[in-house]
Amino acid sequence: MSYKYRTVRVRGTELIGTIARKHGGAPEIYETAQDANTSVVPVFFQATGEVRFFDRSVLEDVVTPAT
């Protein structure tokens, strides 16, 4: 089993972190609820080495520019 990583920004801030998602198994993100409307996901911030939990609604994908 491998992991797919999504880079996300916390809406309204400059905080950018990563969500790990299982790949090759069940497609769920490690969440605290089955209902996507109320789910909270762990976000890893490499700069500080901490994991903080956010409601999915405050996270937005960061699109890296194509080179």
Count of structural domains, the chain: 1
Long-range contacts of 10-19 (CB under 8 A, 24+ apart): 10/43, 10/54, 10/58, 10/59, 11/58, 11/59, 11/60, 12/58, 15/45, 16/45, 16/62, 17/43, 17/44, 17/45, 17/46, 17/52, 18/43, 18/44, 18/46, 19/43, 19/44, 19/59
The string of pLDDT tens digits covering residues 18-39 is: 987 665 555 455 544 555 556 7
Please report whether residue 67 resides in a domain. no
Please report whether residue 53 resides in a domain. yes
Structure confidence at residue 17 (pLDDT): 93
Domain that residue 44 falls in: 2-61
Please report whether residue 31 resides in a domain. yes
What kind and span of H or E run contains 53?
strand 50-55
**pLDDT at 11 > cutoff 90:** yes
Model-level pTM? 0.65
Please report whether residue 44 resides in a domain. yes
